[in-house]
Amino acid sequence: MPSDHFTSPTPRVRLKIRHTLPAALPLAAALAALVLARPAQAVPSFAEQTGQPCQACHVGGFGPQLTSFGREFKLGGYTLRTKPFNVPLAAMAIGSFTHTRGDQVPAPDRLKANDNFAFDQGSVFLAGGVGQHFGGFVQVTYDGVGRVWGWDNVDLRAVTQGKVLGKDAVFGLTLNNSPTTQDVWNTTPAWGFPYTDTAVSGTPGAAALIDGGLAQNTLGVTAYAWIDRKLYLEGGAYTSPKAGTLRWLGADPADPGDIHGLAPYARIAYQKDVGSGTLEVGAFALKAQLNPGRDRSTGRTDHHSDVGLDVSWLRPDSKGNTFAIDMRYVHEKAGLHATCLLALAPADCADVTLQELRGAVAYNWRGKVGATLGVFATSGTANGFLYSGSGRPNSNGVMAQVDYTPWGHGSSPLGPRAALRVGAQFTAYGHFDGARRNYDGAGANAADNNALRLFTWVVF
């Protein structure tokens, strides 16, 4: 539905630190991985506000893939309105069934080792535009697997219009709680495929900090300019709220820790019509110093420098079909000096790198039937202390999804606010946490994590 797509980007457990770390750190990481699963959704109150069907802003009539019109709506601060007033509330729910090739050992809390039905997530949104200059959304989510409430994505905007070298421009400020949540392209970590993901089966342990590591435990302000509907420039910084504030909001203040000072973030992108479609190329960067687990006893911090490149191409046709390609590459250089001191680790523990490559090719037929093929690969420095089992962070595989959205053009029998998507995902791993076979040292193989997931996703 018009507006944004709202997900809970997963701050995946970034490092499998050995038991010499304080026990609270791995426990906090495990809880975060359960609480913050990765579904995303559109918000019906924006559809009502704009008077447009879901297909106007979202590919396939359902979030989070944005059309060119949807990108403009978000960059314009969610302020477009054709109705004098609408109730700025919405809700969503996701349920699923998941089967993995091998039983999960140990089984997830309160679930079976395999063949699990789950209520993945339910969310309530306050979302809308106020006048010509203010708009945004606030999401509160119940995690059906972890059985906890917490704040989810926040994106509040103030916008105005002007000129740059004679070209029309939109200038904005965004207050948000996760780097890349404010982005409008489906290439960055917050909004990249998959748009809803497993809440109950295993996922790889290593990920760059920008890939959800700071989601829902930071606050940032960034300023942006959207010039001539072609050039996007953004810059700002993030900080960590107080531990008590995060606990009150339902987030884990210890994972991954708190930011020392400010963590700067920058983004540049260029968009142009190419080959009857819209091409975007861009780059983004995040630099952060963290006190792991909020522990300052070492007098050192962990340093993270993340740089990403992205490209997308979106081509709709006159029959309502859409073809899309989204890709990103992220390189992270980290100096985990505080973590390694806390663990009494060897001197060569601290310096590591990670590389992440993600890509997806998607086709949507008549705004109803979608098919997506995604690939993912993570590689990095071998480190027998930081990574358990194989001693490497390498994981790779493919994910295929087919889905059906019957009422994306606004014809739901339950009214214009209701929308439904049903789908099937299949994930196959080539390597998992560093190896194809016996990656954990206990006989588990990468293919044991292959998963078939059937899901139902409703918004209203």
Q: 95 lies in which domain range?
A: 5-459
- The answer to whether the peptide bond before residue 64 is cis (omega within 30 degrees of 0) is yes
Of 289, 317, 314, 316, the closest CA to residue 302 belongs to 289
Residues 303-333: tens digit of each pLDDT: 999 999 999 999 999 988 999 999 999 999 9
Beta bridge partners of 425: 401, 453
- Provide the 10 A C-beta neighbour count for residue 54: 29
Query: How far apart (Å, rounded) are the C-alpha atoms in residues 292 and 282?
Result: 31
Residue 443, Ramachandran bin (φ over 0: left; ψ between -120 and 50: alpha; else beta): left
Report which of residues 205 and 98 the model is more confident about: 98
The pTM of the full predicted model, rounded to 2 decimals, is 0.89
Amino acid at 237: A
* Maximum CA extent, the chain: 65
Residues 215-232: tens digit of each pLDDT: 999 999 999 999 999 999
What distances in angstroms separate CA 229 from CA 71, 76, 87, 192, 313, one per listed residue?
10, 11, 30, 22, 15
Mean pLDDT of 380-400: 92
pLDDT at 422: 98
Amino acid at 7: T
Q: Which residues contact 401 (CB under 8 A, 6 or more apart)?
A: 193, 194, 370, 371, 372, 374, 423, 424, 425, 426
pLDDT at 341: 92
Give the burial class of 330: count Cβ atoms within 10 A of its Cβ; 0-12 exposed, 13-18 middle, 19 or more buried: buried
Residues 102-116: tens digit of each pLDDT: 999 888 888 999 999
Mean pLDDT of 357-367: 96
Give the burial class of 111: count Cβ atoms within 10 A of its Cβ; 0-12 exposed, 13-18 middle, 19 or more buried: middle
pLDDT at 69: 95
Sequential DSSP letters for 379-405: EE---TTTS-TTS---EEEEEEEEEE-
Query: How far apart (Å, rounded) are the C-alpha atoms in residues 355 and 339?
Result: 20
Residues 118-151: tens digit of each pLDDT: 999 999 999 999 999 999 999 999 999 999 999 9
Amino acid at 151: W
pLDDT at 335: 95
Query: How far apart (Å, rounded) are the C-alpha atoms in residues 200 and 198?
Result: 6
Residues 174-191: tens digit of each pLDDT: 999 999 999 999 999 999
The mean pLDDT value of the chain amounts to 89
Instruction: Please determine, for residue 35, whether its predicted confidence score (pLDDT) is greater than 70.
Output: no
Domain with residue 215: its CATH number is: 2.40.160.10
Beta bridge partners of 139: 125
pLDDT band for 54, please (50, 70, 90 cuts). Answer: confident
pLDDT at 238: 98
- By percentage, how much of the chain surpasses pLDDT 90? 75
pLDDT at 22: 32
Tokens of 389: 């089992």
Query: How far apart (Å, rounded) are the C-alpha atoms in residues 460 and 451?
Result: 29
pLDDT at 192: 95
3-state secondary structure of 130: strand
Total domains, the chain = 1
How many residues are present in the chain?
A: 460
pLDDT band for 42, please (50, 70, 90 cuts). Answer: low
Query: How far apart (Å, rounded) are the C-alpha atoms in residues 392 and 382?
Result: 5
Beta bridge partners of 318: none
Residue 445, Ramachandran bin (φ over 0: left; ψ between -120 and 50: alpha; else beta): beta
